Amino acid sequence: MEIRDAVPADAQAACEVLRRSIVELCVADHRNDPAILERWLANKTPEIVASWIAQPGSSLLVAVEEKTILAVGAVSDTGEISLNYVSPDARFRGVSRAILRALETRAVARQRALHASQFRDGAPLLPCVRLRRRWPAAGQIRHDRQLSDVEKPDRRGRSRCGSPHQGRRRIAG
């Protein structure tokens, strides 16, 4: 399995993975309610997925095996993971965990690049990568942070993380 940046030619297949994953694997969330499904799937079209691929400031990654897209994930340059969907055909094979790690790695790399360019410009340092606890089973982040480095959300649901350069800062969740 290879995890790579999506290209425009992937839009159709990536869209199919998103839609199948939602319809077949997210039943607990939509309860087969046609109105909920219609709203959830409304922006899952090949044209919109193609626009996500081309969108600056974010990365759309795909997990591919033998030219078949198994999973789709997206992360913004600010570190927000907005997509992590796996094909029903690839469940329980570690595909979602693998793409999540790739998304986290991409977020950290982008944060470091942004941090370095802002630091050179004399701007304040950026906070650490915002982590959304949507996938707690993923375990540790395999780079310079672990989930234990990010405190539990405060009573308003905001995550906090520490930076040796800034002390403690609230990170909107």
DSSP string, 21-84: IIIII-HHHHTT-HHHHHHHHTT-SHHHHHHHHH-TTEEEEEEEETTEEEEEEEEETTS-EEEE
The DSSP 8-state label assigned to residue 129 in this structure reads P
User: pLDDT tens digit string along 99-121?
Assistant: 999 999 998 888 776 655 554 44
Tokens of 59: 């990365």
Structural domain of 45: 2-147
Tell me if 156 is assigned to some domain. no
Number of folded domains in the chain? 1
Does 162 map to a domain?
no
Q: What is the CATH number of the domain that holds 28?
A: 3.40.630.30
Residue at 100 is within a domain: yes
Confidence of residue 145 (pLDDT cuts 50, 70, 90): very low
25, part of any domain: yes
DSSP states of 76-127 = ETTS-EEEEEE-GGGTTTTHHHHHHHHHHHHHHHHHHHHHHHHHHTTPPPPP
Assigned domain for 166 exists: no
Residue 6 — very low, low, confident or very high, per pLDDT cuts 50/70/90? very high
Instruction: Give a yes or no: residue 124 inside a domain.
Output: yes
pLDDT band of residue 148 (cuts 50, 70, 90) is very low
pLDDT of residue 110: 82
pLDDT at 50: 97
Q: How far apart, in whole angstroms, are the C-alpha atoms of residue 27 and residue 73? A: 20
**Domain membership flag for residue 72:** yes
CB 141 within 8 A of CB 147: yes
- Rounded CA gap, 102 and 98, in Å? 6
pLDDT at 79: 85
Look at residue 117 in the predicted model and tell me its pLDDT.
Answer: 52
- Distance of alpha carbon 158 from alpha carbon 18, whole angstroms: 28
In a domain, 173, yes or no: no
State the Cα–Cα distance between residues 7 and 53, nearest whole angstrom: 7
77 pLDDT band (50/70/90 cuts)?
confident
Amino acid in the structure at residue 151: E
